[in-house]
């Protein structure tokens, strides 16, 4: 690496987005996912003792899959290679395998191959990894936002431990903001940032468990707000709304929570009370709630609570949603009201919930083949 490369690396690190700068370097800095890396948990012990086998991390965006792989890279004594399945193919896999073989042959060192977006590899690319995972040449760490049991090669899944990362809780997100505002090297510890309570609550609520989205919004709010005469960067609710491009939904002057109101709306539909359902609908529409969010919740209810008692409920609700997309506001209110009244007056059945009982049974039973009399005769 020459001086120009060093200069480029330094600039890249300094100008990286806040979410990249604030990536935890150690397990102690990692916030959330206590069910996986809490004290005494299997994955934490394996990382601390450098006794990893092949792993696949799955979960929503912004929950720490790539970050956890980077923590492993900083902790392990193994050689660490990272590739992205979107940008890489068999050529890059072969190059990584060759490096792994050299490290193993001349330095007796293991190699961890981290594949981000591993589900983007096609079958042949995933197959190219199999023999090297099998013989231990590489330890595979895959990250995916999809269900690995459907999107990743079955043979590869069987040779890996699957760890499901969950959406971060509000408590986790508050800790991340606190950590960012206190960190003088990577965050805003050198600045005096004052975020109003309702502004921070809005950012946490809208980002919905996604730490990357939260930090991106925080960066935009802080770095576009000039300090006042005393040097304080003040972030009110209005700035938070602009930073996340979604205004806070406050349903009345007492400040009823967004989720309390949608809960009352759904319970009114479920309880077959059309007047109450229209009232809560009007309250949300008046406050500026996204109608697509309301339609999404009604589509769920059309199957979950109406179900087979009136199979047309899904058809009517979906037709109203599509009509709304064509018409828009304010005329689209007719389609909102039509769907609400249909669902509120429809008979109710929750027989579809039997599927989740079956799913629970599948999760706890041993893997079993299809009974012989039910198999394909061919």
- Domain annotation covers residue 12: no
- Domain annotation covers residue 368: no
d(CA 144, CA 138): 19
- Domain annotation covers residue 216: yes
d(CA 19, CA 335): 40
Clarify whether residues 85 and 52 are in a common domain: yes
- Domain annotation covers residue 293: yes
Clarify whether residues 113 and 159 are in a common domain: yes
CB atoms within 10 A of CB 49: 10
pLDDT score of 7 more than 90:
no
d(CA 124, CA 136): 20
- Domain annotation covers residue 366: no
- Domain annotation covers residue 3: no
Q: Write down which residue in 201, 218, 244 finishes a domain.
A: 244
The domain that holds 191 is classified in CATH as: 1.10.8.60
Give yes or no for a cis peptide into 330 (omega within 30° of 0): yes
Q: Write down which residue in 121, 145, 164 finishes a domain.
A: 164
d(CA 140, CA 370): 31
Output the pLDDT for position 206: 80
Span 279-308, pLDDT tens digits: 999 988 887 788 888 999 999 999 999 999
Clarify whether residues 47 and 142 are in a common domain: yes
Output the pLDDT for position 202: 86
Clarify whether residues 82 and 147 are in a common domain: yes
d(CA 18, CA 220): 9
pLDDT score of 9 more than 60:
no
pLDDT score of 188 more than 70:
yes
Cβ atoms of 193 and 223 within 8 Å: the answer is no
Clarify whether residues 291 and 205 are in a common domain: no
Output the pLDDT for position 257: 60
Give the confidence band of 253 by pLDDT, cuts at 50, 70, 90.
very low
- Domain annotation covers residue 355: no
- pTM here? 0.65
Q: Write down which residue in 218, 244, 270 finishes a domain.
A: 244
160: containing domain:
33-164
**Span 174-200, average pLDDT:** 92
Clarify whether residues 112 and 37 are in a common domain: yes
């Amino acid at each position: 690496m020459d001086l120009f490369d060093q200069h480029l690396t330094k600039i890249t690190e300094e100008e990286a987005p806040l979410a990249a700068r604030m990536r935890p370097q150690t397990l102690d800095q990692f916030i959330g996912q206590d069910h996986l890396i809490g004290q005494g948990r299997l994955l934490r012990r394996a990382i601390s003792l450098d006794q990893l086998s092949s792993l696949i991390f799955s979960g929503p965006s912004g929950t720490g899959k790539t970050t956890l792989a980077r923590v492993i890279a900083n902790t392990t004594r193994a050689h660490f290679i990272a590739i992205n399945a979107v940008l890489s193919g068999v050529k890059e896999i072969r190059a990584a395998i060759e490096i792994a073989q050299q490290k193993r042959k001349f330095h007796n060192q293991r190699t961890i191959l981290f594949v981000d977006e591993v589900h983007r590899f096609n079958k042949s690319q995933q197959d190219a990894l199999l023999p090297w995972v099998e013989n231990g040449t590489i330890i595979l760490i895959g990250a995916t936002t999809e269900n690995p049991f459907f999107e990743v090669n079955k043979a590869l899944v069987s040779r890996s431990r699957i760890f499901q990362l969950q959406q971060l809780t509000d408590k986790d997100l508050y800790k991340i903001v606190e950590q960012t505002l206190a960190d003088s090297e990577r965050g805003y510890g050198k600045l005096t940032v004052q975020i109003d309570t309702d502004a921070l609550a809005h950012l946490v609520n809208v980002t919905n468990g996604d730490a990357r989205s939260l930090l991106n919004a925080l960066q935009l709010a802080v770095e576009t707000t000039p300090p006042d005469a005393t040097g304080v960067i003040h972030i009110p609710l209005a700035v938070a709304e602009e930073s996340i491009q979604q205004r806070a939904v406050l349903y009345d002057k007492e400040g009823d929570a967004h989720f309390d109101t949608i809960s009352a709306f759904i319970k009114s539909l479920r309880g077959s009370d059309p007047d109450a359902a229209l009232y809560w609908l009007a309250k949300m529409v008046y406050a500026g709630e996204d109608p697509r969010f309301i339609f999404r919740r009604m589509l769920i209810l059309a199957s979950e609570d109406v179900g087979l008692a009136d199979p047309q409920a899904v058809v009517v609700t979906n037709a109203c949603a599509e009509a709304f997309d064509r018409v828009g506001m304010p005329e689209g209110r007719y389609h909102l009201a039509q769907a609400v009244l249909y669902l509120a007056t429809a008979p109710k059945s929750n027989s579809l919930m039997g599927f989740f009982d079956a799913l629970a049974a599948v999760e706890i039973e041993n893997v079993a083949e299809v009974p012989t009399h039910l198999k394909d005769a061919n």
